[in-house]
Amino acid sequence: MGTSAAGNRLCVISEEGGEIRRLGKRFRKLDLDGSGSLSVDDFMSLPELQQNPLVRRIIDIFDTDGNGEIDFIEFIRGVSQFSIRGNQQQKLNFAFRVYDVDKDGFISNGELFQVLKAMVGSNLQDAALQQAVDKTILSADRDGDGRISFHEFCTVVDLVVSHQHGHTQLGPLVQKVLVLNKTHQT
pLDDT in tens, 31-57: 999 999 999 999 888 888 888 888 889
Instruction: List, run by run, the mean pLDDT of 10-residue segments along the chain (186 residues).
Output: 39 58 91 93 88 90 95 91 78 92 97 94 93 93 96 87 60 50 49
Return the C-alpha torsion angle 16, 22, 25, 30, nearest 10: -100
Residue 35 and residue 97 in one domain: no
Final residue belonging to a domain, choices 34, 53, 80: 80
CATH code (residue 180): 1.10.238.10
For the chain, give the mean pLDDT: 81
Of 92, 91, 90, 108, the residue nearest 100 (C-alpha): 108
Total domain count, the chain: 2
Q: Which residues pair with 148 in a beta bridge?
A: 107
Residue 76 and residue 160 in one domain: no
At residue 32, φ and ψ (nearest 5 deg) are: -60, -35
**In one letter, which amino acid is 181?**
N
Tell me if the pTM is above 0.85: no
User: Distances in Å between the alpha carbon of 55 and those of 12, 33, 98?
Assistant: 30, 20, 10
Q: Tell me how far apart the 2 most distant CA atoms of the chain are, in Å.
A: 65
Q: How many helices (H) and strands (E) does the chain have?
A: 10, 4
Residue 20 and residue 95 in one domain: no
